Homo-oligomer: A and B are copies of this chain.
Amino acid sequence: MATSNCLYHSCRLFTSLRITRQRKDFFNISQTKYFSYSYSTMFRSSEMQDQDIALLQVNRKRLMDELHHTCQWGIGERWGDGSNETGMRRLSLTDDDKSVRDWFIKTTQGLGCTTTIDTMGNIFAVRPGIKKGAPTYAGSHLDTQPQGGRYDGILGVQAGIEMLKILNENRVETEYPVGVVNWTNEEGARFPLSVHASAVWADKLPLSQAHGLASIIPPNKPTPFIDELSRIGYHGPTPCSYTANPMAAHFELHIEQGPQLEATGRKVGIVTGAQAYRWYTVSVSGKSCHTGTTPFEHRADPLLIAAKCMVQAQASAHIKKGALASTGVVKVAPGSVNTVPDEVTFSLDLRAQSDGVLDDLEKELKTVFKQLADGDDSCNTESFWAGNRKPCTVEWRTDSVSKAVNFNESCIECVAKSARSVLVLAGKDDTSAMRLVSGAGHDSVMTSHRVPTAMIFVPSREGISHNPREFTSEEDCAIGAEVLTQSVLRYDRLRVQ
């Protein structure tokens, strides 16, 4: 992809000019948000004080207008009467995805960036720094769920572009390049593997396997990823690899997709890592019989056991700090009203903030499920059922394992300081930010395996996500974008200390 950075080059002519101590004092004294810089003045990130960085503010209207503008590509389900009250259906590598990618390249090039496309279609827009070297990125994704909203992923990319605009407007020059990355198929909706392309970049998934993954969403017949990537013209020449196309750090602004920030009245989540999670399919086998003719003591009812296991899983997780247990899929065979089933399978999604807690939870549940299947309820509650029926058997199949991730301490500190800075200037209490652990997977989990990474969360209304009604207020989007911008700048400063 051709490079276009003419606007930026016009600024680069003035790199010898530096912000003066006097100017910074003025900032400190006035506490206004007004910059009276001349076009000849450049601010070098490593010389900016915290107070200076604090004054780099988002144009909230511009941020939201641009976000909603791009939602013309992939309009989803309408949920309200407002012009922006539609959800999103922008599946990876569709024509809508191509349109928003074209917009991304045109926009970032217009802001002075060099753009690079790799072999997985990831797009890296880079704004040059004073020195050469790996860029510090703001990144997220522009693809959505089939019944998705306007914020998941999209906000993170749009905030990165707003960052570029702020840096340009304020004539900030960074020590090293900074940039914005749009990761391909984060949702894993059309091609059924989430964080699909960032996993290849992090060398956690072979390219050939990633290219071969077939689409699962109609109306098209199953089509390999690589075919669709080529079709929309986004099979780039740059190797998808953290070694061939390195980054210095990765910051990601994302909606929380959960209720904790809103419920506690907070505005910013300082994300310190991601939960460990494991997915299992648990199968309980019993013996089918007639519901009308078979007394309880003669039954081996696998659905009764499965029901107890589901309740017990949540109870066991509940008493372990921060652990979660959930079931979303249940299959009952043969599935007749007057037949006690002979086989029940259910999904089990276990999560915890550490691998050790998850190990303990898995071990405990394997023991308890067997006790329940054997007819021993003493582990649970009243013994109203103990020994009162024939045993079932339980089998576990592990479908997916994701280890706990701890984000980089320096990156987390950049986010924490930036959050404090933004919130104080916005007149918020310092406690309006909280540290939390991501429950969902993100591209940042993949980048964190290779480079310093941290994330910023902003509130999701009612915790709703993967839903057309997903919503984050303009104020919260703007706060998040400012924290993102400052975090990138703070990290850039760190690189020369």
Alpha-carbon separation in the docked complex, A291 to B319 (Å): 17
Cβ-defined partner of A310 (8 Å) among B257, B260, B307:
B307
| Complex: A317 Cα to B384 Cα, angstroms | 11
Nearest Cβ on chain B to A469's Cβ, whole angstroms: 11
Give every chain B residue within 8 A of A335 (Cβ-Cβ): 328-329
A330 at the interface (CB under 8 A from B): yes
Interface residue range, chain A:
35 or more
Binds B, one of A118-126, A339-347, A446-454, A476-484: A339-347
Task: Give the CA-CA distance A339 to B441 in the complex, in Å.
Answer: 13
Kindly report which residue of chain B lies nearest to residue A382, judged by CB atoms: B381
Distance of A260 from chain B, by nearest CB (Å): 7
**Those of A326-363 within 8 Å (CB) of chain B:** 326-330, 332, 334-341, 347, 349, 351
B-chain residues with CB within 8 Å of residue A318 when the two chains form the complex: 296, 384-385, 388
Any B CB within 8 A of the CB of A49: no
- Set of chain B residues within 8 Å of A277, measured between Cβ atoms: 292
What residues of chain B lie closer than 8 Å to A349, measured between beta carbons?
291-292, 337-338
The answer to the question of A425 belonging to the interface, with a C-beta cut-off of 8 Å to chain B, is: no
**Interface with B: A18-26, A75-83, A196-204, A459-467, which one?**
A459-467
Q: How far is the CA of A260 from the CA of B289 in the complex (A)?
A: 13
Indicate if the CB atoms of A298 and B463 lie closer than 8 Å: yes
Residues from chain B with Cβ under 8 Å of A319 in the complex: 384
CA distance A294 to B329 in the complex (A): 17
Does A259 sit within 8 A of B, measured CB to CB? yes
Indicate if the CB atoms of B314 and A296 lie closer than 8 Å: yes
Q: Chain B's nearest CB lies how many Å from the CB of A440?
A: 5
Q: In the complex the two chains form, is A256's CB within 8 Å of B328's CB?
A: no
A381 to B308, CA, bound (A): 12
Known: A336-B328, A439-B293. A384 touches B315 (CB 8 A): yes
Within 8 Å CB of A310, what residues of B?
303-304, 307
Instruction: Tell me how far the C-beta of A441 lies from the nearest C-beta in chain B, rounded to whole angstroms.
Output: 7
**B347 and A337 within 8 A (CB):** yes
List 9 tightest A-B contacts by C-beta distance, closest first. Answer: A258-B293, A381-B381, A292-B439, A293-B439, A291-B326, A307-B307, A259-B298, A307-B310, A337-B347
**Other A-B pairs, 8, CB within 8 Å; known A292-B438, A301-B326, A339-B466:** A259-B289, A259-B298, A260-B298, A291-B439, A292-B440, A318-B388, A319-B384, A328-B339
